[in-house]
Amino acid sequence: KSRDVVDDVPELSLDEEESLDDEDLSESLEDGDGGDGDGGGDGDDDDDDSGSGSDSEEEDDDDDDDVDALDVPSTANGGGAGASASQQVPRGISGQGKVVFCLENASLETAKVGKGYQLLNCDDHATFLKRHKRDPSDYRPDIVHQTLLQILDSPLNKAGRVSAVYVHTQKNVLISVNPSIRIPRTFKRFCGLMVQLLQKLSIRASNGPDKLLKVIKHPITKHLPVNVPRVGFSFSSETIVRFQDYVTSQKKRLDSAGIVYVLGAMAHGKIDMSYTDTHVSVSEYPLSAAYCASRITNAMENIWNIV
C-alpha cells in the first residue's frame, strides 16, 4: 500500500528505560526445523561436525587477539584511540550529543566445518547448512561487515561523535564494538576476527590493553545511555520521513542528549523494537542496512557541520 511521507514528526518521547530479561548465550548450530533454502553457492563437502562459538559470558583476559585502533579525537569522558569498549555508559554522552548504533539480528554464528571453526555464510557453507536443515539465505555476516565499515569509516565517527556500537546476533550474543577499532577491509579477515571473538570473548588493541571488541551481558538497555531517545528503522513503519529534515527538527535535543539508532542487520525479517521510543522508515523502498546507516551518518554530519 502507498504511504505518505511525513513532514512534521512529533518530538521524540523519552520513556523510562525498559528492563529486559537476561538470556543465556545460545549454542550455535543445533539441529532445528529450518527449511531448505535456495540461497548461497557451492558448499563445503568436508566431513563436518556442528559446533558452538562460545557459551560463556565471562571475559577471557589471557588469550585476547590484537587489532588496530583508529586515532579518533578524545572526549570529555576519556574517549579516543584505544578507548575501552567495556564502559557501562558510552563515552562523551554528557555535554555533547553522541550517536549510539545498535545492529539487531546479525548473522554471526560459528560451527566446526572440516578441521576448524568457521563463520557460517551462505556462499561457502550452503551444503553444510542444508545438511543441518538450515536456510542458507539467513546466513549473511557480510551485512554486518558492510554496515560496520559504513559506520566506523564515516566522518561522523572520525570526528568522535559515535560513542558506541552494539551488535545483537540471531543467537542472542551481544557484542560491544569500540568506535576506535579499525575493522578488517576484506570479508575473509572479518570472518576470522569474528570467529576469534566468539571463541575468546574479547579482542584487545595492538597498541594497548583496551578491548576493542567484547561479548557483554544482556540486556542491551543496560549499556545504553539514559534519557536519550531511541529510534528504530523499519520499512514496515507507517511513518516515512525525510531523514535530513527529521534530524534537523530534533537538532537542539540531539546537540544536548544524543540519540540511539536501532537497525536490522539481516537479509529479511523484523527487528526487536521493544526498547525503542519510536520507529520510522526513511524511504518508500527497502534499503540495505549499510545504505540506511549511510543516510544516518550523512544527516548527522550535516547538522553538526562535519565535513
| Percent of the chain with pLDDT strictly greater than 70 | 69
* Cα dihedral 303/247/10/275 (nearest 10): -130
- pLDDT value for 213: 95
Q: Where are the beta strands (DSSP E) in 156-258?
A: 162-169, 174-177, 202-205, 211-216, 230-233, 240-241
φ, ψ at 130 (rounded to 5°) = -65, -35
Can you tell me the distance from the alpha carbon of 297 to that of 307, in angstroms, rounded to the nearest whole number? 11
Q: What is the mean pLDDT of residues 262-280?
A: 87
Can you tell me the distance from the alpha carbon of 52 to that of 217, in angstroms, rounded to the nearest whole number? 18
- pLDDT value for 273: 81
- pLDDT value for 13: 44
pLDDT exceeds 80 at position 2: no
Residue 271 in grid coordinates = 527487528
The pLDDT-based confidence of 68 (bands split at 50, 70, 90) is: low
pLDDT exceeds 70 at position 52: no
| Percent of the chain with pLDDT strictly greater than 90 | 40
pTM, to two decimals: 0.71
Q: What is the pLDDT of residues 175-224, one digit of tens each?
A: 999 999 999 999 999 999 999 999 999 999 888 888 999 999 999 999 99
- pLDDT value for 208: 81
Q: What is the mean pLDDT of residues 106-133?
A: 85
From 304, 282, 260, select the one nearest 73 (Cα to Cα). 304
